[in-house]
A and B are shown apart, each in its own frame.
Chain A
Amino acid sequence: GENVEQHPSTLSVQEGDSAVIKCTYSDSASNYFPWYKQELGKGPQLIIDIRSNVGEKKDQRIAVTLNKTAKHFSLHITETQPEDSAVYFCAAVIKAAGNKLTFGGGTRVLVKP
């Protein structure tokens, strides 16, 4: 079926280093790719998104890249800080699934001080 795969499932980085999370999707018609951050005890919140007509988008220390040909997109966090520790989810609008968001399995990021 149509799905979104996310790797790695856990990621531990030293404060100040970069973190990269990668996702692949199966529906070539997908055109919207958001990233969500879930802090402990809270619901996921949108942190950045990208549409299929651009290849990269940045917002301060976070950036997302999209390769439509290869059907993968990535989240990059630079100069990581302890408050970046959370679970991150990628998602894609899957047209074959009724234009609904389909989420990846999530990545637990731990930033060690």
Chain B
Amino acid sequence: DADVTQTPRNRITKTGKRIMLECSQTKGHDRMYWYRQDPGLGLRLIYYSFDVKDINKGEISDGYSVSRQAQAKFSLSLESAIPNQTALYFCATSDLGPAGETQYFGPGTRLLVL
């Protein structure tokens, strides 16, 4: 089974709708992240959480919110979806160790906002 899972894998929604993307991990890591990848290249950080009680904004948090329901679960919500939020969304986990921070990514959720 995959260590980091994301649901749904694909989603089509309409402008103004509220949607939630979910992420679960079995790696036992404290740190979880949500990134956005736009067509082409680039990973931009939306929100991150270093433990269950810790939530932090990334570089592009406007229009998004998150909830860390448990160590293993971190969900991303789009309160009122707009077309420029069409992108590929990745969840990642990490555990900062002495060698550095290796992030483990989920398979991604492809979101289309019409």
Show the binding face of A for B, using Cβ within 8 Å: 9, 31-32, 34, 36, 41-46, 49, 51, 87, 89, 93, 98-101, 103, 105-108
Q: Are B107 and A101 in contact (CB under 8 A)?
A: no
**On chain B, which size bracket covers the interface?**
20 to 34
B90 contacts partner chain A, Cβ-Cβ < 8 Å? yes
Neighbouring A residues of B96 by C-beta, 8 Å:
99
Q: Are A44 and B43 in contact (CB under 8 A)?
A: yes
Task: Write the nearest CB–CB distance from B6 to chain A, whole angstroms.
Answer: 8
Contact with A51, one of B41, B56, B100 (Cβ below 8 angstroms) = B100
Q: Are A49 and B102 in contact (CB under 8 A)?
A: yes
B105 contacts partner chain A, Cβ-Cβ < 8 Å? yes
12 contacts between A and B (CB under 8 A): A9-B41, A34-B100, A42-B108, A43-B4, A43-B92, A46-B102, A51-B99, A51-B100, A87-B41, A99-B96, A100-B48, A101-B101
Q: Are B48 and A49 in contact (CB under 8 A)?
A: no
State the main secondary structure of chain A at its contact with B: strand
Q: Are A43 and B99 in contact (CB under 8 A)?
A: no
Neighbouring A residues of B43 by C-beta, 8 Å:
44, 89, 103, 106
Rounded to whole angstroms, the CA-CA distance of A49 and B92 in the bound complex is 17
Task: Write the nearest CB–CB distance from A49 to chain B, whole angstroms.
Answer: 6
- The closest CB in chain B to the CB of A89 belongs to B43
- The closest CB in chain B to the CB of A31 belongs to B100
The 9 A-B residue pairs whose C-beta atoms are closest, nearest first, are A43-B105, A32-B100, A106-B41, A103-B43, A105-B42, A44-B105, A105-B41, A46-B102, A43-B107
B61 contacts partner chain A, Cβ-Cβ < 8 Å? no
From B41, B94, B96, B107, name the one whose CB has the most chain A CB atoms within 10 angstroms.
B41
